Structure 1
């Protein structure tokens, strides 16, 4: 048995070596037939001995159907990247880097940072992977998730043959980050025989890696490239070049394009060069990533609350295409608003097949000269991950069929009403999409945050248990839920517990959950902070409301009409009777005549480095400031952090006081 075990280990090492040459280096050193013989011999030995070693290539097949994804907490956070859309944005990022390096060098004459040099890498358009190796063995693989917690997809990742299941580095735990992709040539070959052809490479890769059947993942023959060591027990690198060499030496597939430059001018020229050749790669990229090369400089530059200051993503500009407008359908939203959605002849833009495009309302159709455009050629644009937008007709002539505006609701058949540029269905009691949308919004994370709830849940409860209003949710019983399809004891109990937990909520979230027309999170927070009582708000008049920040006549009328509506009054009363208890967070206001923020209307914009914008806003509110989301003549102060944009520009145009020095802000807040 010992001899057999050693023979199996030697065979596994031999096969893994050939796999590395084939899948990672793209330099096969034996024929497929020879590889098959080695694999078959190993499989036969495993059957004879009954032993399957963890790193065996036979474990990449993915035979076992999984029940679900487990959460995985990353040892090191996976950061998002700030974006640069053009050379001007790139230079703004570079100037911030240079400024911080100069400041550090001025303060540390005996510990100078080198002048910034840079590395450019491709920004792969797939699914981010975070691999965990312990003593050289792959023990976990996870999606990015929210950057802190992702989903464990080890079984799926093991099917990717370019990913090593063992690496030479065996000193503790290490996390390696990269991107799972499907090569375009592989997608083309797959679709030749697929019963259901895949639309595009990005969705194909993401769908395969988040599929509970690893056999499907294996069938798509995914690939993966790696670009970062996110966490180690003590390993350190002097620069990015050294880290890339470490990845290569440990059998990871590194991007075929990693270039180093000493000046930002060289970087800018190279970005233009790669942008012009983006479609020559056998995989999708949606931009490039520029990073500071020196690791010590990265440590000094650090992070904002969202991004590393030492890296930026240079995103490709939106791409346009010409296609044919086939039809326009009309969808009903939770407020009764009817939104047109254009269907076009499928067209490929940057590797993504587009067939549905945004049309905002009737005014949008008229403004873009699309009223007589059915069957005509139109321009469409896709910008990064944004839903494609229909820009207008190719010709000015009215040479197509007319887009007919509906007179009745496409769902319930009620007469529609035109308000401004939008059509509305006023049947709030019986229109299915409105009711399901309202219930789904009520349960969403920024509203009542009812865990495990989804639009599918709302549809099922509507269809099978007659749930028509958010208040109906709190009347559901265990016996009601457990008899539903896909509901077992655990799911029913968890949902009831989530309902119970949601009863204790803050007033701002409750107001947002109600879905008051023309109000968002900022407005409902203003209302909650001012009235601090649901009853007082329900009794408010339009004249009172327009005195508050960000609330004009239209919004004030919407709020008053909402709370005067008998249907809404009944719903709110039923929610309160069910035990929902919205309370205001009474933050103590510092009543100090010398306080520079007391009674001032303040706008926060950009990224603060010493605290988050939310924390700064709460502190300012506790000092008596009124925080608002937009700049107007009523604004007293604008606090501008890094990457402040249009709000800062408007404040400058209006001559509003601007605080763009965080040290000054901290002193005024009494924090310095």
Structure 2
């Protein structure tokens, strides 16, 4: 085959795979197969000295640029009026309705329709304006002042969700969108970066306005598109038609766009977006409400600054700055010593923040925080978790030093540094470790000892010398009833709960032990596979790595844990005191022709007609593989009440979902 013809074939095929992977989130081939095609194209380009304009090899970034070239937009990029609260939003809608009524009064023969509304997420990134002529991407620019921006074509070409060529060849169009850095990508980048990025917005803006396109490529940016700002001849009747055009022309459109006829429904959707924003894999700082009908938009027109037919509803900030006052060090169940930052109180996302996580000593050093006490730092709060310090506002080491401890802050034992973490190895006599292990042992997903709490664990440690979970089963009523805040009823309830916990199954017992690097899904898999505690304790690393979802690190963790004489003695003590730790009876044969057969299923949210454990067992009995995380390999997501980020990700990836529990129960009851 002629090399040029083969190159054209490869470019078309690779761009189609890029579109399926980066825009549709539905890869059609494996990474290995893609790499073979890509390498073949690279070889042909090197041999021929020719590179096609839309070749995917051009997305890695070219030579350093000398500067930015000004670009005059073909149509103005408008700012948006802002509403800070519901009252301001209703005022905007009142003005819209009045303008529509005024227009209809003056034009009774051709009235505007009743306003409909579209809600789009307001991305916190950098606005992109892309120019296509006869289907080819010929320019990309920043917003600038709305009339003239900076040309950043070389940088934008590195974003793999940006099409270099589109099917529409009817002339010139300008398409607007937002360049962003996904939070998961930011986290992975910072794990190995010599200079961690402080937040996703700055990371995206800095990459796109960087004169070295290779830097842009390294940050693996993403982009979503939401508007056709200019076209030679194409026209749309409404926003839906415009979005359909963008999708048909391979632009990535965010799936969270919603349409409403009633303004009260808009209010409800905004509340739902605000509640779930922390579960998104990208930053948003609000939502944009637009009138859907484009003739109405034209009639309403613009003020000097804003379109009258759109408004931005701003959410409370999730990022801000404050002063780092001090750092304290806490000891966890595994002996890991973790820094906790005390900051000057600041309002963030509706709460007053005083504490922030710092993760570990490596995190402190990577973020240039070693000399940050008393200085101003960036913090971020997401999804009701403790806020995280992202980095210093300034680059200078102008604060007091954060001193890393050399002895355990709880027991004084010398600390050991393993990787980025500090550890106290005094697991037999370090109070926080012991209390945390006992609390974990008694937790609901473990031995499920009712009425037990961390306060109870501390009290038993201090007053009854409870030093390990096995000691719980030696407690007597006469010992407990003498304790402060322990009456006869509470003592009897705890004794009964301890007795009942002895019947917990093998998977729950394994989870209660707190084996490093293992969670509930791994311990259940071990219990289902071996069905005997001592068989698991005697398993070799070579045997374990053959099991599903068990890699070398997990296998070594399991073997090392059970090789510890302290662990072995503690387990035998519990067995002698009546703990059964047995696997349930072997399940019936798996159904091979049910609705769930062969599917990888993820459960999320709260179910009311059956427990998560019961749902898992019934799904597995019907041939499903139940997984704990959503990925492109997931076939189905079952969402109960208050489902969060897993359901959002399923929608983003186009994964089928069951969001009606009655429907789930009906399908479970269909045997075969």
What TM-score results when the alignment is normalised by the length of structure 1? Answer: 0.49
Using structure 2 for the length normalisation, give the TM-score.
0.49
